[in-house]
Amino acid sequence: MSAATDQNQEPSYLTASTGWKSWLFSVDHKRIGLMYLVATTIFMIAGGSFAGIIRAELFTAAGDLIDADTYNRAFTLHGSIMVFLVIIPATPAVLGNFVLPLMLGAKDVAFPRLNLASFHIYMAGATLLLISMILGSFDTGWTFYTPYSSTTVGPVAWALTGVFILGFSSILTGLNFIVTIHKMRAPGMTWMRLPLMLWALYATSAVQILATPVLAITVLLLIVERSIGIGIFDPTLGGDPVLFQHFFWFYSHPAVYIMILPAFGIVSEMVAVHAQRPIFGYKGIAFSSLSIAIIGSLVWGHHMFTSGQSIYSSVLFSFLTFFVAIPTAIKVFSWVATLYKGHVSYTPPMMYVFSFLALFMVGGLTGVVLGALSVDVHLHDTYFVVAHFHYVMMGSAIIAYIGGLHHWWPKMFGRMYPQKLANVTSVLVFISFNLTFLPMFLVGSRGMPRRYYEYIASYQTLNQIATVGAFLLGASLFVTLGYLIYGAIWGPVASRNPWNGLSLEWRTATPPIEHNFHGQPTVSGTPYDYPVEPGEAPGEAVGVTK
């Protein structure tokens, strides 16, 4: 079987039509997913470059490489690009777009044109952020805290408009996914047979739809305040800066779950397929996604324990924060239990599962430290927090996303990357990640504040370790990008189902045909009905159902 055709000689989605218009205006969810892949990868390199500038500056305690204002712009752009342009869209928009209809046994998402519109809106928002960079950039931090953001000079309004527009892309994608999951499941795919990736995307979409409008309204209010001077957050105009923090975190804390819930979905798929074993605690994992989405919407005030909010609010938010930890712990235990009596292959996706479990546990448990009120007062806004959220947002969300790319890469491009190199690189990524961020816990608990251009000399050694780690991490990620691209173009042709997966995307051609399936696939069991002997996974013939 060649990469470009299946047995019916129908061309794959990659070759079904040609020319730039056939991509840029494609309503095929797979092509849209790939365009998001290209865009988010470019932005990740940009955001990573700013991280490189930050770490280079922090190699010594004195501010010597760049000036303070440039430094402030660099960390603002690093945060804004990584959050708004990379992590929030990465898993839902890249992998979600590609696999969601395939896993459902559907031809496409429910609203293909809306899906394309989401991509164009995303690019429009990203363009505005880029314009603000060209216009001299902004220095508010990605959090846009008022009244600093109301008063600082620079193209803040451009950036805010960009964020406002990006929000709509997110909302529309979420809407599309929810409708698709409700209405387009293959015959026989009951809710309890839904792949866990789709449960995770469902919970993510709900949060996107409910929380993102609040962000949009908040940045709109801030634009209004900056441009026509109506006081909302700026005290000199009669506004309240702490109100901004409530509004901002009302979105941005749930946004953490927009980033991490899809990662839970990816890991659930990978651990079952690469251990060739039924997932342990399917219902526990599915319902914990939903309960995390619900409770996670009620904990925003834990970002504000030192802000001057009432101490009674702080106690309540701390209490609720610990409640998010419980379903999260249940998930971790279930993934590990899934390895028990399995047939664990040390494939690259499984290596990323191992990485994820270790890094996510560190990220989650240090979140427990920060949820405790008295300890948070000391650690808030120090490097301890920086380390914590990088373990969650990069060590967990991005690591799972990269693992997911390794899992679905052969399906996306019909070719396989060099697996041994991938395994070695995954270990390098893991080691260099820890080298970068473990020292930050220590330098933070010892008192180093975040967003510091210069720092006192006693923090220097730990910062130097982190900087060395960061550059190794960057190099490892470039190797990853290199072999993935190499694999997609020159790698050996991949079989239809290289990992012996049972969910529907493995039943169609590799790469899939434009309309995904020749017939309507049907489902008669869960996607985790292992054990299955190699070669006996269902649907080796096109369109045939189990």
Q: How many CA atoms lie within 13 A of 26 on its CB side?
A: 24
- Taking each helix axis from N to C terminus, what angle separates 196-228 and 282-295, rounded to the nearest 10 degrees? 10
Q: How many CA atoms lie within 13 A of 276 on its CB side?
A: 15
DSSP code of residue 94 = I
CB of 160 to other proteins, least distance (A): 17
Residue 136 binds to other proteins (criterion: CB under 8 A): no
Find all residues with CB under 8 Å of 21, minimum gap 6, and list them: none
CB of 164 to other proteins, least distance (A): 22
Would you say 254 and 297 are in contact if contact means Cβ atoms under 8 Å apart?
yes
Give how many residues touch other proteins by CB under 8 A. Answer: 89
Q: Is the Cβ of residue 140 or residue 516 nearer to other proteins in the bound state?
A: 140
Residue 326 binds to other proteins (criterion: CB under 8 A): yes
**Which range of residues in 302-310, 389-397, 472-480, 513-521 is near other proteins by CB under 8 A?**
302-310
Site string for other proteins, 425-444 (x = CB under 8 A): -----------------x--
Residue 373 binds to other proteins (criterion: CB under 8 A): yes
CB of 315 to other proteins, least distance (A): 5
Q: How many CB atoms lie within 10 A of CB 357?
A: 18
Residue 7 binds to other proteins (criterion: CB under 8 A): no
Using CB under 8 A as the binding rule, the residues of this chain from 106 to 125 that contact other proteins are none
Q: Can you tell me which of 306, 461, 520, 524 binds other proteins, judged by CB under 8 A?
A: 306
Q: Can you tell me which of 11, 213, 418, 447 binds other proteins, judged by CB under 8 A?
A: 447
Q: Can you tell me which of 449, 492, 519, 525 binds other proteins, judged by CB under 8 A?
A: 449
CB of 528 to other proteins, least distance (A): 8
Residue 461 binds to other proteins (criterion: CB under 8 A): no
Q: Can you tell me which of 333, 427, 482, 541 binds other proteins, judged by CB under 8 A?
A: 333
Using CB under 8 A as the binding rule, the residues of this chain from 516 to 535 that contact other proteins are 528, 530-531
Give the C-alpha separation, 86 to 40, whole Å: 5
Using CB under 8 A as the binding rule, the residues of this chain from 262 to 291 that contact other proteins are 275-284
Q: Is the Cβ of residue 19 or residue 238 nearer to other proteins in the bound state?
A: 238
Q: Which residue has the tokens 């390199």?
A: 45
Residue 220 binds to other proteins (criterion: CB under 8 A): no
- Collapsing DSSP to helix, strand or coil, 382 comes out as strand
Q: Can you tell me which of 59, 287, 322, 483 binds other proteins, judged by CB under 8 A?
A: 322
Find all residues with CB under 8 Å of 127, minimum gap 6, and list them: 162
Region of 137 (left: φ > 0; alpha: ψ -120 to 50; beta: rest) is: left
Residue 374 binds to other proteins (criterion: CB under 8 A): yes
Residue 362 binds to other proteins (criterion: CB under 8 A): yes
Full DSSP string of 472-517 = HHHHHHHHHHHHHHHHHHHSPBPPS-TT---SGGGTS-SSPBTTB-
**Which range of residues in 27-35, 47-55, 307-315, 403-411 is near other proteins by CB under 8 A?**
307-315
Q: Tell me which residue of 322, 319, 213, 203 sits closest to 261, measured CA to CA.
A: 203
CB of 382 to other proteins, least distance (A): 7
Would you say 180 and 104 are in contact if contact means Cβ atoms under 8 Å apart?
yes
Residue 16 binds to other proteins (criterion: CB under 8 A): no
Q: Can you tell me which of 107, 451, 515, 518 binds other proteins, judged by CB under 8 A?
A: 451
Residue 191 binds to other proteins (criterion: CB under 8 A): no
- Taking each helix axis from N to C terminus, what angle separates 311-339 and 348-371, rounded to the nearest 10 degrees? 150
CA distances from 409 to 151, 283, 355, 510 (A): 46, 28, 19, 10
Q: Is the Cβ of residue 165 or residue 379 nearer to other proteins in the bound state?
A: 379
Q: Is the Cβ of residue 119 or residue 530 nearer to other proteins in the bound state?
A: 530
**Which range of residues in 191-199, 210-218, 333-341, 405-413 is near other proteins by CB under 8 A?**
333-341
Q: Can you tell me which of 42, 65, 377, 544 binds other proteins, judged by CB under 8 A?
A: 377
Q: Which residue has the tokens 């994820």?
A: 356
Using CB under 8 A as the binding rule, the residues of this chain from 46 to 105 that contact other proteins are 63, 68-69, 72
**Which range of residues in 138-146, 213-221, 255-263, 469-477 is near other proteins by CB under 8 A?**
138-146
Find all residues with CB under 8 Å of 270, minimum gap 6, and list them: 349, 350, 352, 353, 403, 404, 407
Q: Is the Cβ of residue 250 or residue 282 nearer to other proteins in the bound state?
A: 282
Tokens of 418: 């060099």
Q: What b/e readout covers 86-116, taking b as 16+ CB neighbours within 10 angstroms?
A: bbbbbbbbbbbbbbbbbbbbbbbbbbbebbb
Residue 375 binds to other proteins (criterion: CB under 8 A): yes
Q: Is the Cβ of residue 148 or residue 389 nearer to other proteins in the bound state?
A: 148
Residue 498 binds to other proteins (criterion: CB under 8 A): no
Q: Can you tell me which of 18, 238, 490, 535 binds other proteins, judged by CB under 8 A?
A: 238
Give the C-alpha separation, 339 to 336, whole Å: 6
Q: Can you tell me which of 294, 361, 431, 479 binds other proteins, judged by CB under 8 A?
A: 361
Residue 175 binds to other proteins (criterion: CB under 8 A): no
Would you say 307 and 242 are in contact if contact means Cβ atoms under 8 Å apart?
yes
Give the C-alpha separation, 191 to 185, whole Å: 9
Would you say 102 and 504 are in contact if contact means Cβ atoms under 8 Å apart?
yes
Give the C-alpha separation, 499 to 408, whole Å: 10
Q: Tell me which residue of 521, 523, 526 sits closest to 544, measured CA to CA.
A: 521
Give the C-alpha separation, 6 to 510, whole Å: 7
Residue 240 binds to other proteins (criterion: CB under 8 A): yes
Residue 376 binds to other proteins (criterion: CB under 8 A): yes
**Which range of residues in 137-145, 222-230, 400-408, 476-484 is near other proteins by CB under 8 A?**
137-145
